[in-house]
């Protein structure tokens, strides 16, 4: 497999500092069990740089990340409320009437 270079990654990321931060975050995600976006037998750091160079991962602004997190939490809350309502409905149908 061809070598990944910093120049390949910098085509996708603004500067070296952002690249280091992004790669570091991705390494943590991979070590915690995140699914790789590309197949590679390399260590996590090289894999993360390959993902950046391939355009599979990219930096997200803090505002965007917070907004997406809030939206995900709202969707989760809505799903839990729907499941609770369904469970209560099923329980009321299943309970014997006196």
The tens place of each residue's pLDDT in the chain, 98 residues long, gives: 578 899 999 999 989 999 999 999 999 999 999 999 999 898 999 999 999 999 999 887 778 878 888 999 999 999 999 999 999 998 888 876 65
Identify whether the C-beta of residue 21 lies closer than 8 Å to the C-beta of residue 3: no
CATH code for the domain defined by 1-59: 3.90.940.10
Return d(Cα 28, Cα 54) in angstroms, integer. Answer: 19
Determine if the pTM surpasses 0.85: no
Return d(Cα 71, Cα 61) in angstroms, integer. Answer: 15
> HSE (CB half, 13 Å, CA atoms) of 95?
8
Number of helices followed by number of strands (H, E) in the chain: 4, 0
């Amino acid at each position: 497999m061809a070598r990944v270079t910093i120049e390949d990654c910098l085509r996708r990321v603004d500067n070296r500092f952002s690249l280091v931060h992004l790669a570091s975050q991705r390494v943590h995600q991979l070590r915690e069990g995140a699914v790789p976006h590309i197949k590679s037998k390399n260590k996590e750091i090289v894999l993360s740089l390959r993902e950046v160079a391939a355009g599979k991962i990219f930096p997200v602004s803090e505002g965007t990340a917070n907004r997406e997190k809030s939206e995900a939490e709202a969707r989760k809350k809505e799903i839990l409320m729907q499941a609770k309502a369904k469970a209560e409905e099923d329980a009321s149908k299943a309970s014997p009437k006196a």
